[in-house]
Amino acid sequence: MKRVARFSPLFAALAVSFSTFGAFAADASDASTRVVDSKNVPQTIKTSDGRELKLVWNDEFDGVGAPDPEKWGYEIGYIRNNEAQYYSDRLENVFQKDGALTIRTLKEKFPIAGKPGSKGRDFAEYTSGSINTLGKAGWLYGRVEVRARLPKGKGIWPAIWMMGTNIREVGWPRCGEIDIMEYVGKEPGRVYGTIHMRRRGGENWQVVSKGKSREPGNPEGRFCVYALEWTEDKLTILVDEEVVLEFLRSEEEKKTEVWPFDKPQYLLLNTAIGGAWGGEIADDTCPTDYQIDYVRVYQ
């Protein structure tokens, strides 16, 4: 996600109760087009350039309640970009049901005094969810594929993205960042793919960023497949197999002090609201749901 400040992740252990889940059930409409039969997950896949890869990691979100703690951790608190949401690990904000993961963004008066990442505030006006695989899984090269339906409303800012597993040692943007999908509700129908890395020399937070966008057709109303194909020489971001962005090492490596995309990266799924890019929030935006049918990694 585009940034205006240093990344300062705050992670918390899973601490949720399944007993309260019934109150936060996902909308089961459109289930016939949303859910992919997890028993028929492709074990191999061909990339856009014809390479055959094997499934090495996946989550079909077939459970009920919180996402699998063996695969996912949470960000907790106010994290970055002056965004309006407080990220929580509650079932109200992050849950799986009917074969999909839902990240729900709420407008509410949520007490956060003394909680992690509260930044001295007593209440949050918005809550949402951000989960990631840091410390649990990371990958170098291959294809990362996520099937998702995006939330809508002015101010909303969902994403599918990756950062180097070495972020705690080298910081951002030295770790590199791959934004497989970003969407801002003020631009309905348009999705972005962007790469970030550190500019050569100096101590300032100068960033090389390259991004492009595409309009896949109603990504708020239907499920699209967002993918990254990553080799030693190139990163390709796609939506429904149409190329959004190609990032060639031969062209870009000379612009950065360190080429970060030869080291493993971990995956993040989140919905932000407001902030540096989300912008003004409409009164009727929330509640709004970001639904993820599956995540699959092939190498």
Look at the chain and report how many structural domains it folds into: 1
User: Residue 142 sits in a domain of what CATH number?
Assistant: 2.60.120.200
Domain-located, residue 32: no
> Known catalytic residue: 182?
yes
What phi and psi values does residue 121 have, to the nearest 5 degrees?
A: -90, 150
Quick check: 170 and 163 in contact, CB under 8 A?
no
CA-CA-CA-CA torsion for 37, 39, 40, 45, nearest 10 degrees?
110
Domain-located, residue 25: no
Which two tokens mark 132?
């990631």
Domain-located, residue 165: yes
> Known catalytic residue: 83?
no
Domain-located, residue 57: yes
Task: Kindly state the helix (H) or strand (E) to which residue 167 belongs, with its residue range.
Answer: helix 167-170
Domain-located, residue 35: no
Given 83, 177, 220, 229, which residue is catalytic? 177
CA 94 to chain centre: 13
Given 60, 83, 92, 182, which residue is catalytic? 182
pLDDT tens string, the chain, 299 residues long: the values are 544 333 333 333 333 333 333 334 434 334 334 454 555 899 999 999 999 999 999 999 999 999 999 999 999 999 999 999 999 999 999 999 999 999 999 999 999 999 999 999 999 999 999 999 999 999 999 999 999 999 999 999 999 999 999 999 999 999 999 999 999 999 999 999 999 998 766 666 678 899 999 999 999 999 999 999 999 999 999 999 999 999 999 999 888 888 999 999 999 999 999 999 999 999 999 999 999 999 999 99
Find the DSSP H helices in 20-134. Answer: 31-34
Q: Which domain holds residue 100?
A: 11-15+44-298
Domain-located, residue 31: no
29-32 own/partner pairs: CB under 8 Å, 24+ apart: 31/98, 31/99
Domain-located, residue 24: no
Domain-located, residue 265: yes
Residue 257 CA: distances (Å) to CA of 60, 246, 261, 264: 38, 20, 12, 18
Is this prediction's pTM over 0.85?
A: yes
